[in-house]
Amino acid sequence: MNTFLYIILAIIGTIFGSFFTLAVYRIPRKENIIYVRSHCTSCNHRLEFWDLIPVLSYIFLGGKCRYCKEPIKPIYICLELLSGVVFVLVALAMNITVTSTLIDFITYAYTTLIVSVLCITMGIGKNINVSVILFGMLIRTIYLVFVDNANFEEFFFETSVFLIIALIAYLIISKFVFKNEELEEKYSHAFGTIIFVGFLIYLFGIEITTIVMALGIIFGIISKYFFKTDKKYIMYMSLISIFVLVLISNDVIYSYILK
pLDDT in tens, 47-81: 776 667 777 787 877 777 777 877 877 777 887 88
Domain ranges of the chain: 1-100, 124-259
Per-position DSSP letters for 122-180, written without gaps between them: HHHTTS--HHHHHHHHHHHHHHHHHT-GGGHHHHHHHHHHHHHHHHHHHHHHHHHT---
pLDDT at 19: 81
Q: Is the pLDDT of residue 162 over 90?
A: yes
Specify which residues 39 forms β-bridges with: 46
Task: Give the confidence band of 230 by pLDDT, cuts at 50, 70, 90.
Answer: low
Counting DSSP H helices and E strands in the chain, the numbers are 10, 0
pLDDT at 163: 93
pLDDT at 12: 92
Q: Which residues contact 74 (CB under 8 A, 6 or more apart)?
A: 63
Our measurement of the distance from residue 174's CA atom to the centroid of its chain's CA atoms, rounded to an integer in Å, reads 28
pTM: 0.83
pLDDT in tens, 84-110: 888 999 999 888 998 888 989 999 999
Measured between alpha carbons, how far is 245 from 204 in angstroms, rounded to an integer? Answer: 8
